[in-house]
Structure 1
Amino acid sequence: MAATATMTAEDFEKGARDFFVRHCGDIPRYEKYGTMIVASVELVKAVVQLLTDAGVEVQLADPVRSVPGEDHLQYGALAGNHAGRPVVVPLVPGFPEVRVFAAAEGTAVGEVVTVVTVPADRVERGGWVPAAAIAEQLRTILSTAA
């Protein structure tokens, strides 16, 4: 039986960052959609792992579509609880403002429940917002494990 490699939050973030850098490059529009989706999903995996390690109850959610104010088709998302209600948090790579939405059916999002913003001094050159900085902000508002 072959050994299985365990992916760390850093591994997921590296993958996310690589696709984000490619997304920002000069590539065809159809590739931009694909690279953003992959970057977003990998970023969510990193943030979920960091939050779970910190005792916050979250999980990977189905990617969401039609995030208000965003022009891409799909983003990775995590699911958790805020103030006793289920929420979904789509992560848009390169955006320090993280919107928390009420959970909705399927791949939709409900109304905005709250917004957290990663401080400008945590945003890296080139616009990358690190998974640890996002997790730090979400840790303050999402429910911890009982």
Structure 2
Amino acid sequence: MFVGRRRFADIIILVCCTILSYFLIRAIIDHVKHVTHEKNLKGNMQQWKLRHPKIVTESKDIQYIDENGPDSFIYKAKPKHDIQNKHGHHEDDDDDEEADDLELEQRIRERKRKQALKMDQRGRKRNALEINQRLKIRNKPRS
């Protein structure tokens, strides 16, 4: 009878350990999935930011900034008195409209220049990749 109780206790301990190990393994797998999903989201966000410059639409009253990437467009509206100029000072309400127009034109020119530079760099990268592909095809050993 003593041997039977011992065997029964061993079976119960074995079942409990199996159940606990199952939950531990599930928790580890879920954690790894969550971490890799976060890394993928972060990588996708960085790729999206490289492909799309920050979307900024300015008006006199509200500045809309897209900070969340392609999947969720959440726009933050800022009243005019909260908008700061490039030196970190709040803009005055009685600024000349001409100065604002000149600054806006300068920003637009700078943005277009940066976009043209990005396009040039992408074109160069693409051409370099195509050249490398052609060289690999040419230098491929013949069997």
TM-score in terms of structure 2 length: 0.23
TM-score in terms of structure 1 length: 0.23
Point out the structure with the larger strand share: 1
Point out the structure with the larger helix share: 2
